[in-house]
Amino acid sequence: MGKEAKQLQGLFQDIIQYIRLNHTDSIDNAYTYFWDKENPDEFLSGTSLSLGFHNFEDWLVFDYKANEAGESFIDLYIKQKQDLDQETIGLLGRAKASVLSLYEVVSVSKDKRVHLRDLLLEEEIELKEKSLTRGLNKGDIFATRIMKLDKMDRMGSCVYPFVQSQKKQVLAYVSRQFGRYIRNVKPDGAMRDYLKDYGDVFNIVWMNFFNKRTEEKG
């Protein structure tokens, strides 16, 4: 793990602790909103439930608007920690600017490279992480956050895994929600703006798939 990646990991945990100590009510409100007033324990279990809780924390830190001014908890943390150096503030700024998007694995190479296609922002990404070459296969679909750390594109730990057969449904859902966004919220908004303002969209569609599966079993 590179220097910036390791530093951001530590900062993430520090920000979570800051939120827990200073913004308990905000956590409750954000949790209710993120899970659409549902209880994740009722349709998620095991690894999926653990992943869901981590994804919530990722969204809470990077995307949630903590006040009416639209500031994130990263903004509030920087204001509170007045001893942060400019390098750290810059790193947090890059993290704050990142968005969750939907990716498809184009290829996995033997030289430890994973080629991804961003299906929403129409970008090509190459990851150079050995661990990913063991866990990803061509055609895999997932939403995640990718950031430039240590001069390399790196995949975050927040992941919404989908199966290839769900690809069209996920894209259609996001497209509909983006259409509403530019009609009702930001007429001149781009897809990146939407993903930053409504990064929870992937949790909603992910949750819907699990709910549907639970209903079919019932």
- Residue 38 contacts residue 46 (beta carbons within 8 Å): no
- Cα–Cα separations (whole angstroms), residue 207 to 162, 195, 202: 11, 17, 8
pLDDT-flagged residues of the chain (< 70): 132-133, 212-218
Residues 6 or more apart in contact with residue 116 via CB below 8 angstroms:
103, 104, 105, 106, 124, 125, 126, 127, 146
Q: What is the pLDDT of residue 213?
A: 57
Q: What is the pLDDT of residue 8?
A: 96
Q: What is the pLDDT of residue 133?
A: 64
User: Residue 113, class by beta-carbon neighbours within 10 Å (0-12 exposed, 13-18 middle, 19+ buried)?
Assistant: middle
Phi and psi of 37, rounded to 5°?
65, 15
- Residue 151 contacts residue 4 (beta carbons within 8 Å): no
Q: What is the pLDDT of residue 214?
A: 43
Q: What is the pLDDT of residue 212?
A: 67
Strand, helix or coil for residue 2: coil
